[in-house]
Amino acid sequence: FPIVFFTANDTEEDMIKGFESGCDDYISKPFSIGVLKFKINAILKRNYGEAKNIFKYKDLKIDFDSRKIHKRDEEI
């Protein structure tokens, strides 16, 4: 599965540790939702083929068109 780090730690050392740990991308706060969408779509496309507007993993669902996130079918 692709791994993306979302963090407030933005030093070069932190980023290198993240990539050495195997992450596919390292995104530090603050970040734009629009950029986040394209980064996630690019990662999904690289790993699974054509990216979709809905990302699902276990009990988490992210709908980029409606900009909603659901966990266990409950909107968060």
pTM: 0.55
Q: Does the structure show a pLDDT above 60 at 51?
A: no
CA-CA distance, 59 to 4, in Å (whole number)? 17
Q: 27 with 39: CB under 8 angstroms?
A: yes
Cα separation of the two ends of the chain: 23
Mean pLDDT of 16-28: 92
Mean pLDDT of 52-69: 86
